[in-house]
Homo-oligomer: A and B are copies of this chain.
């Protein structure tokens, strides 16, 4: 999980500015830019600083698309180095059951991402009426296949299958999704190391790392407690010595608690739930939500928004991920990273 900042900057100055909640340092005027479209921003915006919120400025935008690209470049270099050194190419097997269009799109994107970094992708598409036993047979085959280092079962599965049974069948050494309870248990325990960390929460923390945002000793609030994002994100933040509170549907005063956070990770699937008034000035916001909302002005008839009201948040926070272009691109990058890690570990290559 350790990673150094690869940007030039985030320099130590940036890190200092991002810590300014405790020790205000005024700089300015600064070159502020933030994403207003899906087009990739110029990388120079990474060196922009957010001035203090009290100066009516806007937050630094955390560019997940750009970070993901840099991570994929790093992975591509490592894949080449490994191939040359030991002749092994990392392999990811993806099992898709049924004909859900969204699942097919996700699988296609994963396949493309693998190709872009030189990871072999094996894909099996099974009809919706496949039996659980047949799926288990495929998993068993990939478990034993030395050219496969990661196995991913695209969810959701058809309702006649027991998801737990299927996921538990994946060998822990190839569980690149990191959802096996043994991985989650190790993630929760001090002094233990999970073999894999779930991709989306790992991507959230990686963004904080790469932007030089310190976590240790900070108040962090995670909104949502799902098995795939909220819960492991809270465990990861705690591993990095944040003081973590988890807010969920049964929380009576989510706004009040969220307002105490230096770092907010929102992963609840409620469009624009977190308003500007929920945010402490200069907080850092990682928005995992990707929610379609009606938008007559769009040719598609909808647009994607996060769990955080971006327009309000950007005026209060010191840094924020956009939607899309924030956490989204990081998930697949982390999947590739987990697959590379697995191939290295299985082949004792460092």
Contact at B251–A243, with CB atoms within 8 Å?
A: yes
A244 at the interface (CB under 8 A from B): yes
Instruction: Kindly identify, within residues 229 to 255 of chain A, every residue whose CB is under 8 Å from any CB belonging to chain B.
Output: 231, 235, 238, 241, 243-248, 250-252
Contact at A181–B192, with CB atoms within 8 Å?
A: yes
Q: How far in angstroms is the closest Cβ of chain B from A19?
A: 12
Complex Cα–Cα for A243 and B245 (A): 7
Q: How far in angstroms is the closest Cβ of chain B from A192?
A: 6
Question: So how many copies of this chain end up in the complex?
Answer: 2
Given contacts A238-B225, A257-B243, contact A251 B189 (CB under 8 A): no
Size of the A side of the interface (Cβ < 8 Å), in residues, is: 34
Cross-interface CB contact of A185 among B188, B217, B247, B257, cutoff 8 Å: B188
Residues of the B chain whose Cβ atoms lie less than 8 Å from the Cβ of A246: 238, 243-245
Complex Cα–Cα for A209 and B216 (A): 34
Contact at B182–A227, with CB atoms within 8 Å?
A: no
Given contacts A241-B250, A243-B248, A251-B217, contact A188 B184 (CB under 8 A): yes
Q: How far in angstroms is the closest Cβ of chain B from A313?
A: 22
A181-B192, A241-B248 given; 17 more Cβ-contact pairs under 8 Å: A181-B182, A181-B185, A182-B182, A183-B185, A184-B185, A184-B189, A188-B231, A188-B235, A189-B231, A190-B226, A238-B246, A243-B246, A243-B251, A244-B245, A244-B246, A245-B245, A245-B246
Q: Which residues of A come within 8 Å of B, CB atoms?
A: 164, 180-192, 216-217, 219, 225-227, 231, 235, 238, 241, 243-248, 250-252, 257
